[in-house]
Chains A and B, each alone.
Chain A
Amino acid sequence: MPGNAISRALPWVIVGLLALFPVLDSTFYTQLLTKVLIMAIFAMSLDLLVGYTGLVSFGHAAYFGLAGYALALMGPKYEAASLWWTLPGAIGICVVFALVTGLVVLRTRGIYFIMVTLAFAQMLFFVFHDTKLGGGSDGVYIYAKPTMNLGETVLVTLEKLDQFYWLVLFFTAATYFLLRRILGSSFGRALMGIKVNEHRMRALGFPVFRYQLASFALAGGLAGLAGYLAAVQFGFVNPEILSWHQSGAVLMMVILGGMGTLHGAVIGAFAFVLLQEVLSNQAWFGIAAKHWQLAMGILIMLVALYLPQGLAGLMAKLQRKPPAEAEEGADV
């Protein structure tokens, strides 16, 4: 089928086009796009839980922020940290934390699960907010961005905007293809089965808890990847990075884009970051830009009420129904 071929090639084409972006040589837009791509990784990691495993986590920022703090605290203070081991280290810490918290939170379901994931994220928030461990409420600066060295030669330095952008693009693409692969495997199918009918999966002999825990840990690790990259981009971490506003924002990205579709999470991250950027643009909205969260809040409520399948769902609907047909359909 040609349609199938197009949809298979499309992600590669988009990655290719995105890779060319730094040619435009716009610092502002490269930075913005870097942020979008980092958030896309974060959103995809949450989509794995919400959209594919049926676990609505409202504390996903915990892993995002934890990795940021891991980078800030593991690396040397004034020299560049080594990407070689700080990145796997940060991700590893997040996976372990997800496994430990997962043992508790996965005993709960529904509303309880939402609240308990939130509470665990808050716990971590207070660990960094109230103790001296991570500089309290002021946070920690990351003075030098990590580098990837081979012997004495510096292969990659994240100080360079373009190199950082390409690395982020690489990880975004890798996350997308990795998750697509996993979701097409027996393991992924089992997760989707659990989302649809957990009880029946258990009756069929699936050790549901173990699958959920594996999914939870994987999502935590990928959120850690995103958090590490975000900390590198911002150049500092403070408790806000793992606040519940962050968890809410990423949930919004997933739903805005359309949960249960990986590309939806990417679209959602793109739309959300751009919206944030536009609504808070003082040149356009003047004094109202200061209160951009008001518009964002209203928008979020509208999405929750009227766009439950998100932008991806909207696009699929439009594709399936050309306008003329849709009108006919409306009469029925």
Chain B
Amino acid sequence: MSEAILRTEGLTKRFGGLVAVSDVSLDLHVGEVHVVIGPNGAGKSTLTNLLSGDLPATSGRVMLDGRDIAGLSSDQISRMGVGRSYQKTNIFLPFTVFENARLAAQSRTPYALRVFSRAEAYDAINALASAALESAGLAHRAQRVAATLSHGEQRQLEIAMCLATQPRVLLLDEPLAGMGPHESQRMVELISKLRSDHAIMLIEHDMDAVFALANRLTVMVNGEVLETGSPEQVRSSPAVQAAYLGGEEMLHE
């Protein structure tokens, strides 16, 4: 197996007395979708925030290409090739869909400080933005104002913005939440396609999507990793079955 591109060692986050993420070690490889599941409050989103630099870790390490990035700011981590989407839609509502994607693409370029040419004058950026919208299935909405999109479309835009930054590592926090069946299907296909040249961590509740996509599965409960391994290993783990109360049908589906 390839070298892990992103790896955590003993990652822990405490909020006061509460331990949100406890001693989590996992790794992400290019060509793999690593799905993290667990009940609400298990610490999945906190884990994402630790990896993306949105939150500082209390202890532990986050290694990207063998370099410890814990403690770096979120913009630094983003520029190193870690892209993330948010569980709660986090876009630029007053801007057009294209401008949302264009801004995301712009963040990758050295043109940022050229203050005298029009922002749209850079073909490479425009192309990147268009391609990201195309992949996420939003090309036909490019000129709409983001605030006027449906909830599902805003979720797609969230992903498109993430793609436009050309990340090597993708941290996707419940990308399917609030999407219709058609859009969900499309998103599953997209993630599956992205797998070949990205390392992907996916947090998801939709078990169809989970088992359609997962190369590796981690179950988190109360901030800790309960089980990690191939989907089959996890599915048959007694610990998971015991802990995941009422979730058995889901897992066996």
Contacts and interface: CB of A to CB of B under 8 A. Distances in A.
A–B in direct contact per CB < 8 Å = yes
B118 interface: yes
B91 A189 contact: no
Interface stretch (B108-116, B200-208, B227-235): B108-116
Q: Could you say which of B99, B102, B103, B116 has the most chain A C-beta atoms within 10 Å of its C-beta? A: B103
Contact of A185 (B52, B73, B119): B119
B119 A184 contact: yes
Contacts of B92: 193, 196-197, 200
Given A203-B90, A206-B75, A184 B104 contact: no
A187 B114 contact: yes
Given A196-B94, A197-B91, A208-B75, A203 B116 contact: no
Contacts of B114: 185-187
A2 interface: no
Contacts of A208: 75
B165 A188 contact: no
Contacts, number: 87
Interface residues of B, number: 36
Interface in B101-151: 102-104, 106-109, 111-119, 122, 125
A114 to B, nearest CB: 23
Interface residues of A, number: 24
B115 A188 contact: yes
B54 interface: yes
Q: Could you say which of A186, A190, A202, A208 has the most chain B C-beta atoms within 10 Å of its C-beta? A: A186
A187 B94 CA distance: 18
Nearest to B117: A185
Contacts of A199: 90
Contacts of A182: 115-116
Contact of B161 (A181, A184, A204): A204
B189 to A, nearest CB: 25
B93 interface: yes
B161 to A, nearest CB: 7
A205 interface: yes
Nearest to A208: B75
B78 A197 contact: no
Contacts of A185: 114-119
B95 interface: yes
Contacts of B54: 203
A186 B111 contact: yes
B79 interface: yes
B8 interface: no
Contacts of B218: none
A199 B118 CA distance: 24
B111 A204 contact: no
Interface in A221-264: none
Contacts of B122: 186
Contacts of B94: 196
Interface of B: 52, 54, 73-75, 78-79, 84, 86, 90-95, 99, 102-104, 106-109, 111-119, 122, 125, 161, 165
19 contacts: A181-B115, A184-B118, A186-B113, A186-B114, A186-B115, A186-B117, A187-B115, A188-B119, A192-B95, A193-B95, A193-B103, A196-B95, A197-B91, A202-B74, A203-B78, A204-B104, A204-B161, A205-B107, A205-B165
Given A203-B84, A204-B75, A214-B113, 9 more contacts: A181-B115, A181-B116, A190-B106, A193-B103, A200-B91, A204-B78, A204-B104, A204-B107, A205-B75
